[in-house]
Amino acid sequence: MRWSGRKALVRGPRGRRPPGGPYDDGVSLYRDEGVVLRTQKLGEADRIITLLTRRTGKVRGVAKGVRRTKSRFGARLEPFSHVDLQLHGGRSLDVITQVETLHPYGGAIVADYPRYTAGTAMLETADRLTVGEKEPALRQFLLLVGGLRTLAEGGHEARLVLDAFFLRSLAVAGYAPALAECARCGAEAARAFAIVAGGVVCGACRPPGAAVPAAETIALMIALLRGDWAAADASEPRHRTECSGLVAAYLQWHLEHGIRSLRHVEREWPGAPEARAPGAFPWSGRSHDAGPGAAGGRPGDAEPAPDPHVFRT
């Protein structure tokens, strides 16, 4: 084989590898488990795969030749797949060399359209919440795996699973909304919800433009945050709709960025009228916009949430 000076530069001599990173064993190959967040086409037959991994955090790797039908691991690197993989460290992008499937959640999720749209919103949120590459985010990873498993099992309405994931992702990131008492003064008689304040607020602390959701909606948010699925499943559609609006607005305010998938999330549950975006086709009812009065402000104090990275079902 011809010696390649460029390749030698990319890899670098063993002595120069930064200690403490995934390469500190002196080998540029490393193994991790991860969830495929998104894929982008690259060149003729390659793909850039973005993964959230257990030990390394967010990783972007090139999967060579996976768009060809003869690819040995193309099918394993679809979004929603929970995989065990081996990567080779590169200068800007790592190269994925081997992949084994741990849980192919994609098949069950894609078989149901509302589950698919909710799932893509989960992946996009996980991608946005883990800003830096190769910064370990174990709790976010565990939360995502649990959320996808719950979604794939289909035991709960997809939109409830999505809202639970949003609330717990915010809790993991340190932005859990205050729901039991006033986010500003700690008073117990709090009825209004203000994103500005970081959750529910009492009459004295209530800023202009705060929403006044039903008490059942706040109870639903608490149930979703705590993993009380019996209470969440028993909630009424109108409270679910209100809860989704508030949670989506709260999430996007903290992310300082819109979640593109949210626009396409289907709100559909047995016996409930479909909420339709203006001008949408009669067969494509959806919209997942902010609730009334859910305007921006600054983050508030975090409500202690019981073990938010464990997605109890």
Cβ proximity to another protein: between 55 and 103 the closer is 103
d(CA 67, CA 45): 5
One-letter amino acid of 77: L
Please, which of residues 260-289 interact with another protein by CB under 8 A? Answer: 260-261, 263-265, 280-281, 283-284, 286
**Strand 199-202 to strand 190-194: parallel, antiparallel, or no bridges (unpaired)?**
antiparallel
CA dihedral over 121, 124, 130, 136, signed as positive or negative: positive
The 10 Å Cβ neighbour count of residue 57 is 22
Beta strands in 27-110 (DSSP E): 29-42, 46-53, 57-63, 81-88, 94-104
Number of residues that bind another protein (CB under 8 A): 37
Query: Least distance to another protein from the beta carbon of 261, Å?
Result: 4
Query: Least distance to another protein from the beta carbon of 125, Å?
Result: 10
267: which 2 tokens?
A: 């709100």
Residue 92 contacts another protein per CB under 8 A: no
Cβ proximity to another protein: between 21 and 107 the closer is 107
Beta strands in the chain (DSSP E): 29-42, 46-53, 57-63, 81-88, 94-104, 190-194, 199-202
Cβ proximity to another protein: between 132 and 278 the closer is 278
Q: Which range binds another protein by CB under 8 A, 3-11, 109-117, 206-214, 220-228? A: 109-117
d(CA 6, CA 3): 9
Which residues, in sequence order, are CB contacts of 174 under 8 Å at separation 6+? Answer: 302
Q: Which range binds another protein by CB under 8 A, 107-115, 189-197, 212-220, 234-242? A: 107-115
Residue 156 contacts another protein per CB under 8 A: no
Annotate each residue in 223-262 with x if it binds another protein (CB under 8 A) or - if it does not, as one string. -------------------------------------xx-
Query: Least distance to another protein from the beta carbon of 71, Å?
Result: 8
∠ CA 258-261-266, rounded to 5°: 125
Residue 189 contacts another protein per CB under 8 A: no
Residues forming contacts to another protein in the complex (CB under 8 A) are: 38, 43-44, 69-70, 72-76, 78-80, 101, 104, 106-107, 110-113, 116-117, 120-121, 123-124, 260-261, 263-265, 280-281, 283-284, 286
